[in-house]
Amino acid sequence: MKEQNQYNLLADIFRYPSDGYISKVMQCSEMLKNRYPDAYAHFEKFSSVIQNMSIVDIEELFSMTFHIQAICYLDLGYVLYAEDYKRGEFLVQMKNEQRKVNNDLGCELADNLPNALTLIPLLEDKHFAEELVVRMYIPALEAMLKEFDASRIALKTKVRKKKQKVLIKQDLQNRNLYQYAIQATLDVLQTDYKVEKYKDKMVKSDPLSSFLPNCDGSCSSTASTTSSSPVIME
């Protein structure tokens, strides 16, 4: 993969919308159309609606999806481990990797999806990048997509009704729109990285045990790897 600007373009989709956001969405859409037709088929469902929305409405949609009464969250460690201590371990290691390549994290955490995506082309060790994507990023995105299931959303709404007197725009139009952007991102990662090469390896319950070891210089893991997903805390 000589050209890796796809990750920066995708990262912009998951940053808080501001002026120019629609332009970035269309730029990403064009890239996917030319290079990842399967991913574009999903992303087009997202971009075709977004391009006709006002920035205020997009901001509200983004907040309702990832922040206020969130369907899912963008911090990969939280998606994979919730409040388990392993979330902290993962975040510390991600901070280390981000620091090594001087990636600008803005005001978000090191494992926030946009920051995680922009890290990929900055990693010199491509074997390590592949393991990072296959064992951590892909399972996290798969878990995020599951949160858009109608039954899970209905359950969350039921719980919130018991805890909160008022639900903010529960019937917001296009509430699930970002799932298509997430699916497109997952498709790109699965196209770029060979997930199948990990399927016949020894199965471990927690890939974090061999992920990002404490080391100097190259941090490519030499341990056996698997396709099993990390423990996802409900």
Residue 112's DSSP bridge partners are 75
- Express each pLDDT in 71-90 by its tens digit: 999 999 999 999 888 999 99
In this predicted model, what pLDDT tens digit does every residue of 12-35 receive, in sequence order? 999 999 999 999 999 999 999 999
Q: Which stretches of the chain are assigned E, i.e. beta strand? A: none
Q: 3-7, 34-38, 44-48: which range is least confident on average?
A: 3-7
On whether residue 12 sits in a domain, the answer given is yes
Q: Is residue 229 assigned to a domain?
A: no
Task: Say what the pLDDT of residue 192 is.
Answer: 95
198 domain-assigned:
yes
User: Would residue 203 count as lying in a domain?
Assistant: yes
How far, in Å, CA of 136 to CA of 139, rounded? 6
Q: Decide if 58 is inside a domain.
A: yes
> Is 228 within the bounds of a domain?
no
Q: Is the pLDDT of residue 101 over 80?
A: yes
Handedness of CA 11, 188, 73, 164 (dihedral sign): positive
Phi, psi at residue 108, to the nearest 5°?
A: -100, 170
- In the chain, the number of structural domains is 1
DSSP state of 216: S
Can you give the pLDDT at residue 173? Answer: 61
Give the span between the Cα atoms of 208 and 189, in whole angstroms. Answer: 19
The closest of 77, 146, 73 to 110, measured between CA atoms, is: 77
Which two tokens mark 35? Answer: 């290079």
Residue type, 233: M
Quickly count: other Cβ atoms within 10 Å of residue 181's Cβ: 22
Helix extents (H) in 120-174: 126-132, 138-146, 150-163
Does the predicted model carry a pTM greater than 0.75? yes
Tell me which residue range forms the domain holding 38: 5-210
Burial of 99 (0-12, 13-18, 19+ CB in 10 A): exposed
Q: Is the residue at 143 inside a domain?
A: yes
**Which residue type sits at 124?**
E
Amino acid type, 49: V
Averaged pLDDT for residues 50-71: 93
Mean pLDDT of the chain: 82
Residue 219 lies in a domain: no
